[in-house]
Chain A
Amino acid sequence: MSILVIAEHDNSSLKQATLNVVAAAKAIGGDIDVLVAGENVGAVAEAAAKAEGVNKVLVADNAAYSHFLAENLGDLVAEVGKGYSHILAAAGTTGKDFMPRVAALLDVAQVSDIVRVESEDTFVRPIYAGNAIATVQSSDAIKVITVRPTAFDPVAAEGGAASVEQLDVVKDAGLSAFVSEEKAESDRPDLSSAGVVISGGRGMQNGENFKMLERIADHLGAAVGASRAAVDAGFVPNDMQVGQTGKIVAPQLYIAVGISGAIQHLAGMSDSKVIVAINKDEEAPIFQVADYGLVADLFEAVPQLEEELKKAV
């Protein structure tokens, strides 16, 4: 068996999710190659070559890939990947965008968002917002799979010595073009991979009040998230959403503030190691999954938490 892992990166550095996906590839077993597609990705390729368990790094360095347009990546990965038994990518917004194109072009099904590998053709994935866990078996010759990064412990970033090979496959479908981007400016860690996440819900009442959470986040080196209710209410942008239709997180510590705990939210955070809930409604379902629950008005409890944390850490 041979597995092609598509690296997740921003053209300058390799994202940790790639190491989680390599771990999923190791669980399947076989030779693991990593494809780095982007523009001026020398440093990314170098980092991928050092990752534990990687056999070979393939580099497609071209302006056509610089913005990870799905049409171009889809064509590239379908061509490079057709000699492999498995093609894996992280189930982030990039992988979710181009991988189904790869599957369609290869005329195979895609297995989305796997959380466990049972065997080379059988995988476990949540459905119905995590209310059910399905074990599915693929009968296709090539398995196209997106991997939930938080479900696999990353391989070591150092220690490997894979060879690096330049590809001269340029696929520019000419169907789409990058226009602009608005990156959320933040010095905080990425929500999907942060060790601590503090999230606010509808109980926060407005976007301004999220500053209270940001101060705690800065103190703990945490990322700030939100429930769908808070996003729907317009308090914060959608890229902060944790849940079925947002990001899936599994930090060491998850602090839910003013979040009732709708099943769609729980789907995004219930694999966290320790969950803290602060809510004034003691019947809120979030308390059923919380390791530590505090029934309190968040507008009193959160400032106190900031003070106590300053004393304690």
Chain B
Amino acid sequence: MKVLVAVKRVIDYNVKVRVKPDNTGVDLANVKMAMNPFCEIAVEEAVRLKEKGIATEIVVATIGPKASQEQLRTALALGADRGIHIETDEEVQSLEAAKLLKGVVEKEEPKLVILGKQSIDTDNNQTGQMLAALTGMGQGTFASEVVVEGEKVNVTREVDGGLVTVGLNLPAVITTDLRLNEPRYASLPNIMKAKKKPIDSMTPADLGVDVAPRLSTVKVEAPASRQAGVKVADVAELVDKLKNEAKVI
């Protein structure tokens, strides 16, 4: 079966985020960018499904500026077969991203769509669920285990207070949580091979989607910083302070 994976280009996980002095957003100029960590897990899961003989083809899609092709190449080096680049320099919010991906789903007709549960920039946690609703598919969000059996997939989900397993009809949408798998590193030969894999480019207009944002950002500020307190000498002093000064025990 065909698997579609959607990936997003975001600020690298290890980069210190700085708010722009004019409070219009976060400074992304000359900052290292990378594939969103949850999207890496999504790619890895698709590759494992292919290694198990369940997936036959992995298509990876991304939405963003020209430079997002780097993240497509990364996914291709990890094992995806071909890429789709929906190119735009505009800010694309979750609902519009879901509409664009719906267009890709209609063209490609995958049996399974795998996305990260959230991107570490906007922290929205929406796109997979929205895509599922727009395409009339079931969803297994925050997945920690995926088991495909015939025309069904069982997804074990990380929820408040434990795990829940749901059974979904295919096609279905899955969003990944941290423990689903540990993504591999791309090998040098695979990075070279990925350069020859095909990437199909299109625009939001080609898919008939208006990406004008519904939410406008009024301002972006740095968080109020917390002041460091005092160091205590030993456990006895700590307990004394908690009891008599902070009065929290």
Contact = CB atoms under 8 A, between A and B. Distances in A.
Interface of A: 67, 69-71, 74, 92-94, 96-105, 107-113, 122, 126-140, 173-184, 190, 192, 196, 220, 228, 231-232, 237-239, 241, 244-245, 247, 252-253, 263, 270, 273-276, 282, 287-296, 301, 304-305, 308-309, 311-313
Interface in B218-249: 218-223, 226, 228-232, 234-236, 238-243, 246, 248-249
A113 B137 CA distance: 25
Interface of B: 11, 16-17, 19, 26, 38, 93-95, 98, 117-118, 120-134, 136-142, 144, 154, 157-169, 172, 177-179, 213-223, 226, 228-232, 234-236, 238-243, 246, 248-249
A6 B154 CA distance: 27
Nearest to A251: B248
Given A181-B163, A231-B178, A239-B158, A101 B120 contact: no
Contacts of B223: 126, 130-133, 270
A296 B235 CA distance: 9
A241 B162 CA distance: 12
Most A-side CB within 10 Å, residue of B130, B137, B221, B241 = B130
27 contacts: A67-B164, A93-B159, A103-B126, A105-B133, A109-B93, A110-B94, A112-B123, A112-B124, A132-B19, A135-B220, A138-B215, A180-B165, A181-B163, A181-B165, A196-B248, A232-B178, A239-B159, A263-B16, A274-B246, A287-B228, A291-B246, A292-B232, A292-B241, A293-B228, A293-B229, A296-B234, A305-B239
Contacts of B134: 104
B138 A104 contact: no
The 10 A-B residue pairs with the shortest CB-CB distance, nearest first, are: A175-B138, A100-B129, A291-B229, A109-B214, A104-B130, A131-B17, A101-B133, A104-B133, A100-B126, A176-B138
A238 to B, nearest CB: 5
Given A179-B165, A238-B158, A301-B235, 19 more contacts: A101-B132, A104-B129, A104-B134, A128-B11, A128-B123, A131-B19, A176-B168, A182-B164, A190-B160, A192-B160, A231-B179, A238-B178, A244-B120, A245-B38, A274-B242, A276-B238, A282-B231, A291-B246, A292-B232
Nearest to A92: B160
A175 B169 contact: yes
Nearest to B229: A291
Q: Is the interface of B mostly helix, strand, loop or mixed?
A: mixed
Contacts of B11: 128
Q: Is the interface of A mostly helix, strand, loop or mixed?
A: mixed
A228 B178 contact: yes
B124 A129 contact: no
Most A-side CB within 10 Å, residue of B93, B178, B228, B232 = B228
A132 B222 contact: yes
A313 B129 contact: no
Nearest to B241: A292
A312 B133 contact: no
B166 A177 contact: yes
B249 A312 contact: yes
Contacts of A228: 178
A109 B95 contact: yes
A287 B162 contact: no
Contacts of B214: 108-109, 138-140
B160 A93 contact: yes
Nearest to B130: A104
Given A109-B93, A127-B121, A247 B129 contact: no
